[in-house]
Amino acid sequence: MRILIIGSGGREHALAWKLAQSPGVTEMFCAPGNPGIASLATCLPIGASDTVELADFAEKMKVDLTVVGPELPLTLGLADELAKRQLPVFGPNKLAAELEGSKVFSKSFMKKYGIPTADAEVCVTRKEAESALRKIGIPCVFKVDGLASGKGVVVVQSAEEAERALKLFFDERLFGSAGDRVLVEQFIAGEEISFMVLCDGERAIPLATAKDFKRVFDGDRGPNTGGMGSHSPSVHLDAPTSRDVLTDIVHPTLRGMAAEGRPFRGVLFVGLMLERGVNPYVLEYNVRFGDPETQSVLIRMEDDLLPYLVGAARGAFDPELRPVWKKEAGACLVLTAEGYPGPFEKGRPITGVEEAEADEGVFVFHSGTARGPEGKLVTSGGRVLGVCARAKGLSTAIRKAKNAAAKISFEGKHHRTDIGSRAMELLLERTGSGLS
Ligand code: GLY
């Protein structure tokens, strides 16, 4: 099969890496791709959101399956454009992608179908938000309705922070039209979990659980980012709670979306808050693979990913499909540019990637990299590289990823040093050893 992958991040590099191992894949393209993906696929000078150009290419090259990485092309209708031309696509259509594209839609959808989620008020003006604040109380969460690259969510813990959020969201309108409507939402304390399921419109096949780390600094401090690291399994979610998530959240979501005339095909990524370790609430839906959760999950996947993506695109999984996961754990450390998630410089030379990858069980996925003068690897984005490792226990996987990350250099390199430490504490409590 000829595959076209859309996107340019670590998630798309991990998808390309996994699909390159599939006996069913004969040729791969990626638009626009990155230097890491270029070793596995032909990268195309087409932007990930140029929906008509992408569909033109897929049609001309008789692409058998387009796999869409990021949310923006999905919310812009890339799947619809491809479907119009009878071209198979992995990813939801525009109507179904609204689950991520509009937090106001997803909140009212959850309320309608009885899916557990925090109460929220929809606010258009500062005055409405002030009144919602009085009603919901502090702590609470401000969320913009539209897409904001994971940065449109602010947790408010004090009156000063509330004033700052009101200023940011309403006076300065930091998020532009994505912030035309803002949710002021009840705060739920607990552990955040990423729960991803592959969907064919009716059936859901869960992927291995994962946890990501959104804040830029250790100890969950500093602003939110796209994701600073991940590990799989999540450790926090036990098997009975996973079953509850499927019964109380995933299946009602799929049934509800079908009833709304928006059947969901692709990967549904449910951002969960696990209150007191057992009560799962939906924080948000995403309509695509998580980044960097996908990196930690796919390095653990034993079987071929392609039949799952084809089944979802076709709207009917092969009933025999049951993913098999390696018994090893996966971890991913994201190396970021100085200043990220604020402004950062590009073009800083990167060294040591090959040395890092030479370690057994280490995989380096490119994200914000480019080829500079003389073809040398340089930084070109905020999240530069995802250094991933697979090993028998989570502690070993994390140590391996850290050792590999230490071999990579670029000016201003930053990464969190506490990825997985909460999970290690939990494992220690449960087993007396951090090695399981
Ligand atoms: N890691 C969070 C996300 O992909 O949205």
* Cα→Cα distances 130→133, 159, 173, 324, Å: 5, 11, 16, 49
Evaluate: CB of 323 within 6 angstroms of ligand 1.
Answer: no
Distance CA 331, CA 335 (A): 13
What are the pLDDT digits (tens) for 220-267? 999 889 999 999 999 888 889 999 999 999 999 999 999 999 999 999
Cα 278 to ligand 1 centroid, rounded to whole Å:
22
Q: How far, in Å, is the centroid of ligand 1 from the Cα of 290?
A: 4
What CATH number was assigned to the domain covering residues 191-431?
Answer: 3.30.470.20
227 lines ligand 1 (CB under 6 A): yes
- Mean residue pLDDT across the chain: 95
pLDDT on residue 90? 98
N- to C-terminal Cα distance for the chain?
39
For residue 291, the ligand 1 atom closest to its alpha carbon is 4
Find where tokens 């003006």 sit. Answer: 125
Of the candidates 218, 220, 221, 210, the one whose C-alpha atom is nearest the C-alpha of residue 299 is 210
- Give residue 432's pLDDT band: very low, low, confident or very high (50, 70, 90): low
At 277 the pLDDT is 74
Atom of ligand 1 nearest to the CA of 150: 5
Does the beta carbon of 75 lie inside 6 Å of ligand 1? no
Per-residue pLDDT, 436: 43
The pLDDT value given to residue 224? 87
What is the model's pLDDT at position 434? 43
- Report whether residue 293 contacts ligand 1, using a CB cutoff of 6 Å: yes
CA of 383 relative to ligand 1 center, distance in Å: 12
List the residue whose alpha carbon is closest to atom 4 of ligand 1. Answer: 290
The verdict on the CB of residue 64 being under 6 Å from ligand 1 is no
CA 292 / ligand 1 centre spacing (Å): 7
Ligand 1 centre from 373 Cα, in Å? 32
In this structure, the residue with its CA closest to atom 5 of ligand 1 is 290
Domain boundaries defined on the chain: 2-91, 119-186, 191-431
User: What would the CATH number be for the domain defined by 119-186?
Assistant: 3.30.1490.20
Confidence of residue 422 (pLDDT cuts 50, 70, 90): confident
Which pLDDT score, from 0 to 100, does residue 150 have?
Answer: 75
Q: Establish whether residue 284 lines the binding site of ligand 1, counting it when its CB lies within 6 angstroms of any ligand atom.
A: no
Long-range contacts of 54-59 (CB under 8 A, 24+ apart): 54/4, 54/6, 54/78, 54/81, 54/82, 55/81, 55/82, 55/84, 55/85, 55/87, 57/4, 57/29, 57/31, 58/4, 58/82, 58/85, 58/87, 59/85, 59/87
pTM: predicted TM-score of the whole model, two decimal places = 0.95
Percent of the chain at pLDDT above 70?
A: 99
Phi then psi for residue 54, to 5 deg, are -65, -45
CATH code: domain 2-91 is 3.40.50.20
pLDDT tens-digit map of 322-374: 999 999 999 999 999 999 999 999 999 999 999 999 999 999 999 999 999 89
Give the residue from 391, 394, 352, 355 showing the smallest Cα distance to 369.
352
- Residue 100 CB–ligand 1 contact under 6 Å: no
Using the predicted structure, report yes or no on whether residue 1 has a pLDDT greater than 70. yes
> Residue 393 pLDDT more than 60?
yes
Total residues belonging to the chain: 436
Q: Which residue's alpha carbon is nearest to atom 3 within ligand 1?
A: 290
Name the phi and psi angles at 359, rounded to 5.
-70, 135
CB 288 within 8 A of CB 266: yes
